[in-house]
Structure 1
Amino acid sequence: MEVIAAAGLAVFLVATGVMHFLAPDYFRTLVPAWLRRPRLLVAASGAAEIVVGVLVLVPRTRAAGGLSAAVLVTCYLVSHVDALRRARPDRPRLLDRPVGAGARLVVNALYIVWALAVARSGR
């Protein structure tokens, strides 16, 4: 089960990292307006996700990769908290409403728990 959790996290991270380069416009919408250089942030976070995903995939570096994934995803909480702060019930997109923005926070917290579990299993 631990190997499946690690492989799933690795695939998720690498695929999401690649998507940062294939669909950068979407990921730029997730960057809070007050942060500068959204293009650079999207590219850097995409590259980081790919590298961390590879670390998780390799058994020898799995613990460090899982911990790195937890730190990386924790950094994304800034974006999700900002989205929750700006959320309004009358917005057309569910993710722009309070319930959707709140769900984003919960899902991100679950990603952090997943990454920490993988880190713990990699010891």
Structure 2
Amino acid sequence: MKKFLVYSLGAFYIIAGTNHFFSPEFYLEMMPDYLPFHELLNVTSGLAEITLGSLVLYERMRKMACYGIILLLLAIYPANINMLLTALEGKDYGVPIWALYARLPFQFLFIYWAWLVRDFKWSEETT
């Protein structure tokens, strides 16, 4: 089970980070107007997700990578709130309002997932 949680966490962030380069318009639209350099922030966050997702797979780097994921999730949380608020004002993201509401607590599940995985050691695997 530990290996599944680690590999799926790594894959999730590698795929999510890669998506920043294939669908940048989605991420650019959700960024709050008060943030400068949207394109640079999109590239930076995508590279961060790919890097952290890759580092999770290495036992010696896992704890640092998981803390990085947690910090990244906290840093992008205002963009998720902004996306919901602007959608409530009428902006169409092509995502239902209920999904934007549901996304907010899911961020904390993702934080818990990274927190849970941070200390996993292959040598302690029992399954």
Range of TM-score over shorter length: 0.7 to 0.9
Taking the TM superposition and a 5 Å limit, the aligned residue runs for 1:73-88 are 73-88=73-88
Q: Deviations over 1:68-98 (max 9, x none)?
A: 111111111111122233342876657463x
Distance 1:96 1:38 in 2: 24
Give, in angstroms, the shift of residue 121 of structure 1: 2.7
Going from structure 1 to structure 2, the CA distance change for 1:8 and 1:45 (only over 3 Å counts) comes to: same
Q: Distance in 1 between the 2:86 and 2:120 partners?
A: 37
Bigger relative CO (Cα 8 Å, ≥ 6 apart): 2
Consecutive unaligned residues in structure 2, runs of 5 or more: 122-127
Larger-gyration structure (1/2): 2
8 Å Cα contact 1:83-1:96 kept in structure 2: no
Distance in 1, Cα, partners of 2:117 & 2:61: 11
- Structure 1 stretches of 5 or more lacking a match? none
Aligned residues: 121
Tell me which protein shows more helix as a share of its residues: 1
Contact kept, 8 Å, 2:30 with 2:82, in 1: the verdict is no
Q: Distance in 2 between matches of 1:9 and 1:77?
A: 18
Structure 1 pair 92–81 and aligned structure 2 pair: CA distance change class (3 A): closer
Equivalent-residue separation in structure 2 for 1:89 and 1:31 (angstroms) = 15
Task: State the shift of 1:13 in Å.
Answer: 0.5
Is residue 72 from structure 1 mapped to residue 72 from structure 2 by the alignment? Answer: yes
